[in-house]
Structure 1
């Protein structure tokens, strides 16, 4: 399967979220020469290049005994297979303090990308997702400070089942 055919359930916009590197690399897992790759994972090895095939198949996580996601709402997802798919077969996203993956409807959500208040307002969901986020008690009064890729950044998720949007916020 070519890299263009590989799809990640929990990161459907992988090619648009600025986590993949372009250029010639040698996959640290399979040894193949690739032109599009993911540069890191949480493991003891010093990883610089993983092809999308080795990530999607779980081979990279198995070979290096590592994960791609730092943390998630584990308590909201009962199926261990979904935990395995997220942590071992889904590339993470870039954040200030490490990825935190949201869940809804007994499944992890799809990560859509970085957002600020302006992007949320353009989508017509700012009031809803900001209110839901602030109920968590992490940060409050985020509306005026939330900037796409800013010092206070938003990470937008969408439930795969009910299609509701959810927001996670992180700061430097």
Structure 2
């Protein structure tokens, strides 16, 4: 195992710490694409038309440079459900060179300031209960809901339970947003 590779994971603009979010993990397995055991693998399956499961077979380096997407004809982060217009280059980087995340009903990647937001992982109780007025307003607008529904969801939120609050941050203005999903 190459210790330089293990200590220097690739930089993912839209998913800055896929190890902390539980989507990339340590492994001694060789990558299906580059055939190297680099110390980490993508823990999720990739999106593709075939039936083969690629989970725990692709290293983050082959995701970051696009080799996995082109070699296996796969995508990693689902980009079709973005509510805001963003450049095609951002959508391509998201879907073909960014690790996705696991959610109950399928991931939804948020966008703001005409760009894809970065995924920061599952929200803590503190993050949800102390959400800013701008964060709450953005959630209400995106979900055609009011603050009463927001308050109900927050009051019942327990990390790891049946409601998920997934945290996103705008790369340009820093707005924190949440995608809320239920089992």
2:140 to 126, 134, 144: 134
TM-score normalised to structure 1 length: 0.87
Aligned positions of 1:57-72 closer than 5 A: 57-72=65-80
Match of 1:46 in 2: 53
**Deviations 1:89-124 (Å, cap 9, x if unpaired)?**
000112111110000011000111101443333xx3
Aligned residues: 170
Seen in structure 2, the aligned counterparts of structure 1 residues 128 and 76 have a Cα distance that, compared at 3 Å, is closer
1:2 aligned partner: 5
CA distance in 1, matches of 2:126, 2:83: 31
Of residues 143, 149, 159, the one that matches 2:160 is 149
1:79-90 alignment runs, 5 A limit: 79-90=87-98
Counterpart Cα distance in 1 of 2:9 and 2:163:
34
Structure 1 Cα separation of the partners of residues 153 and 99 of structure 2: 27
Structure with the largest fraction of strand? 1
Q: Could you report, residue by residue, the CA deviation over 1:11-37 in whole angstroms, capped at 9, with x for unpaired residues? A: 112221111122211211111123211
SS of the residue 2:38 aligns to: strand
RMSD: 2.2
Q: Say which is worse superposed, 106-115 or 16-25, in terms of deviation.
A: 16-25
Per-residue CA deviation, residues 42-99 of structure 1 (Å, 9 max, x unaligned), is 1223213111110000111111111112345545233111110000000011211111
Q: Secondary structure at the match of 2:177?
A: strand
Residue matched to 1:161: 172
